[in-house]
């Protein structure tokens, strides 16, 4: 069996990965260094959206927090996931699947970079309505959720389902 590192749609998916990574890291840096959180650690933008200052030492949404000493384990898992997704991407033949995998790769690498640089992932988006608050997240998380959503759509309704 020959190891294949790139297929016809690898560049296409790679562009999605690069875009997700650049947007994530750019917004994190802009918020970290450009927003004055004051004493509350929160800036209200709309009645349903706040920008907050939060560090996530857990896996997703703060679950299974490992503390600062566990950053290498979680960061390493994200890097391994990105490599596995890249091998998958190298074998795809559908644009939707390539885009989805690119979003997963970019999102995983964006959060892995945070773990290496800071020992935790910087989350800053807080959505809320009618007294209910969603988990605080960042744009890598959005890319990951969008990638999973596209893969699910493709498996149930797209070309993969055919």
Q: Exactly one of 69, 123, 154, 159 is catalytic; which is it?
A: 123
The position carrying tokens 């997704």 is 85
Annotated catalytic residue 93 = no
Question: What is the edge-to-edge ordering of all strands in the sheet holding 42-46?
Answer: 42-46, 49-56, 121-129, 132-133
Annotated catalytic residue 123 = yes
Q: Exactly one of 24, 50, 114, 141 is catalytic; which is it?
A: 141
Length of the chain in terms of residues written: 162
Instruction: Using alpha carbons, select from 99, 104, 100, 111 the residue that is nearest to residue 25.
Output: 111
CB 142 within 8 Å of CB 110: no
Catalytic residues: 123, 141
């Amino acid at each position: 069996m020959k190891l294949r590192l790139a297929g016809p749609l690898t560049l296409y998916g790679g562009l999605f990965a690069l875009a997700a990574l650049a947007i994530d890291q750019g917004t994190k840096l802009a918020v970290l260094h450009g927003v004055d959180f004051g004493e509350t650690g929160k800036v209200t933008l709309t009645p349903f959206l706040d920008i907050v200052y939060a560090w996530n030492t857990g896996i997703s949404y703060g679950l299974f927090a490992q503390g600062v000493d566990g950053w290498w384990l979680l960061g390493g898992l994200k890097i391994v996931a990105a490599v596995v997704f890249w091998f998958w991407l190298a074998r795809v033949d559908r644009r939707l699947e390539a885009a989805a995998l690119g979003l997963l790769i970019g999102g995983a690498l964006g959060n892995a970079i945070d773990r290496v640089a800071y020992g935790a992932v910087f989350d800053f988006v807080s959505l809320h309505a009618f007294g209910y608050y969603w988990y605080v997240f960042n744009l890598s998380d959005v890319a990951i959720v969008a990638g999973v959503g596209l893969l699910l759509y493709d498996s149930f309704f797209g070309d993969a389902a055919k």
